[in-house]
Amino acid sequence: MRSKKLNMKLLIGIGFILLSATNQIEAQTGASKENKAPKLVVGIVVDQMRYDYLSKYYAKFSENGFKKLMNQGFNCKNTNYNYSPTYTGPGHASIYSGTTPAYHGIIGNDWYVRETGKMTYVTDDATEKTVGSSAGGAGKMSPRNLLASTIGDELKLYSNLKSKVVAVSLKDRASILPGGHLSDGSYWFDSGSGNFITSTYYKKELPAWVTNFNDKKLASAYLSKPWNTLLPISQYTESAADDNPYEGLYGKEKKPVFPHDLPSMYSQKDFGIIRSTPFGNSITKDIAIAALKGENLGKGPYTDLLAISFSATDYVGHKMGPQSVEVEDTYLRLDRDIAELLTVLEKNYGKENLLVFLTADHAAAYVPAELTDNKMNAGYFNGFAFKDSIKGYLNKAFGDTSLVSFAINNQIYLNHTRIQEKNLDLKTITSQLSNYVLNFNGVANVYTAEQLNGDVLKNKSAELIQNGFYRKRSGDLAILLEPAWLEEVSTTGTTHGSTYTYDTHVPLLWYGGQIKAGYTSAAIEITDIAPTISALLNIMAPNASIGKPILSITK
């Protein structure tokens, strides 16, 4: 009997040891899985992509492009920008920094600088030089105006600069800002040479792989034949008639219709027309794939980042508007480009070693002229006439037309020096001018710098304007236009920049080894992207990040 009791105790003891060992192995395995980072993060930003394009063109997408990301990845259906103005520069900065212009300082694509009395472009840097082209100004660029770190910067710091970060785009600002301060190379398209170039901020000369890529003269190849529709034009039932009054013209064309004669629109001294065609996206895809091999991305001991921004969608959208056959064809062709990119990525790395996200830097409004023709509230706000009018008002009220320095980004900059010289009260001027501006057609509200710098504003649009306000660079008055009112003169094509959902609601798709298929309709803000990536990589979020990890993905 005693022997049986001893044997039973022995078995129980062995069982506890085995259970403990099993738990320990499971814990270690869990920790190992949790700490296993992907080899490569690929960020895809589509310039001026409305969320509803995913459903609008879905039936015509291929199986391996947008559909793959939507059906085999995770779809955040209710992703919005949480600030305005919704422009390219602020959009790319916010995606990769996880914060708004109030913190990263990129308040527009251009803004007025009080200290110099001149405009500045978002990535202008006179201390740098062009690398890869004889066009002097095309490469005088850097990310120095960006005040916050990016996800790429944090990757580099985490790995003691051993991770690689590379960014490519047609637009300089769409590669410079995503690349961040520590980018190993940010490259953008130079219209004058047809080459992808960079600046001395990054390198003194182009890497061999970029030179070899430029030597292929792909811009010439893409522009050597007319742009016709990918599918028979009769199948573009999601779009308006090809010939309609709301679309702009290419080159010397008399009608905005297919085919577009691209060979007649470029020369060996100006390849700029490629930006306004889907082939601008294709050449961006080409250099992105070249960068994978050229930089040996995803092959080292630390996670690397490739940031890709497809900008042609923005140029086509501005010219033709969201209801055009041109926009639809551009997205159908982009879908094929994305499918090719995903195929290359999975072949070379395996899905399990990838983390891919796709979003947009802003969306776009319908063409106001089309809306008004259909009896909807919409309109055009003439900024030039507006500026002249407020100068006249200030002259009448205070005896001086020079009290206004500049107007841009729906903001008015007052001349502080002149106001002090005349011993006037800034608060009184902004208050009275605010009341005057409210009288203009299309103006919904006006907010003063004092309100935007401190008050808790209850109105949603006011909150977005406040999130886009950085006192050192922003104006004294910010104007909110009514929905579907654009600060434009042309009645063709469209633009963006507002606080309204047609500008703020964008796609957000995730794909890769850590991502389970699914979707959420929960409210997501654009500033949540960077901290979500940080959580998946187990690194610190960018230093000014205000976003939250998306729990549907990271849990």
Torsion, Cα 237 239 241 246, to 10 degrees, reads: 170
pLDDT of residue 7: 52
What CATH code is assigned to 40-363+499-554?
3.40.720.10
Query: Distance of CA 67 to CAs 59, 62, 192, 292, Å?
Result: 9, 7, 36, 23
The residues that bridge with 46 in the sheet, in sequence order, are: 310, 360
- The 10s digit of each residue's pLDDT in 26-73 is 434 344 455 688 999 999 999 999 999 999 999 999 999 999 999 999
pLDDT of residue 24: 46
Q: What is the rounded distance in angstroms from the CA atom of residue 311 to the CA atom of residue 49?
A: 10
Which residue is associated with the tokens 């304007």? 465
Say yes or no: do domains 40-363+499-554 and 382-440+443-481 share a fold.
Answer: no
pLDDT of residue 36: 81
Q: What is the rounded distance in angstroms from the CA atom of residue 69 to the CA atom of residue 436?
A: 49
Q: Is the dihedral of CA 88, 90, 149, 129 positive or negative?
A: positive
pLDDT of residue 384: 84
Residue 21 scores a pLDDT above 50:
no
The answer to whether 304 touches 37, Cβ cutoff 8 Å, is no
Residue 1 scores a pLDDT above 80:
no
Q: What is the rounded distance in angstroms from the CA atom of residue 409 to the CA atom of residue 469?
A: 11
Share of the chain above pLDDT 90, in %: 89
The answer to whether 45 touches 322, Cβ cutoff 8 Å, is no
- The 10s digit of each residue's pLDDT in 381-393 is 988 889 899 999 9
Structure tokens at 435: 């009341």
Does 16 or 69 have the greater pLDDT score? 69
pLDDT of residue 17: 41
- The 10s digit of each residue's pLDDT in 261-317 is 999 999 988 999 999 999 999 999 999 999 999 999 999 999 999 999 999 999 999
The answer to whether 248 touches 167, Cβ cutoff 8 Å, is no
Q: Which residues touch 139 (CB under 8 Å, ≥6 apart)?
A: 128, 129, 130, 131, 132, 133, 190, 197, 198, 199, 200
Pairing outcome for strands 195-199 and 379-380 = unpaired
Residues serving a catalytic function are: 88
- The 10s digit of each residue's pLDDT in 211-224 is 999 999 999 999 99
Top-level CATH class of 382-440+443-481? alpha beta
Bond from prior residue into 507 cis (ω within 30 degrees of 0): no
Rounded average pLDDT over 232-260: 97
pLDDT of residue 469: 97
Does 343 or 27 have the greater pLDDT score? 343
Arithmetic mean of pLDDT over the chain: 93
Residue 2 scores a pLDDT above 80:
no
pLDDT of residue 527: 98
Residue 455 scores a pLDDT above 50:
yes
Residue 460 scores a pLDDT above 50:
yes
pLDDT tier, 253 (very low <50, low <70, confident <90, very high otherwise): very high
- Name the residue ranges covered by the structural domains of the chain: 40-363+499-554, 382-440+443-481
Structure tokens at 63: 């199986």
pLDDT of residue 438: 96
Rg over alpha carbons for the chain, rounded to the nearest Å, is 26
Least confident stretch, 11-20, 199-208, 324-333, 481-490:
11-20
Q: Is the dihedral of CA 74, 78, 83, 84 positive or negative?
A: positive
Question: Model-level pTM?
Answer: 0.93
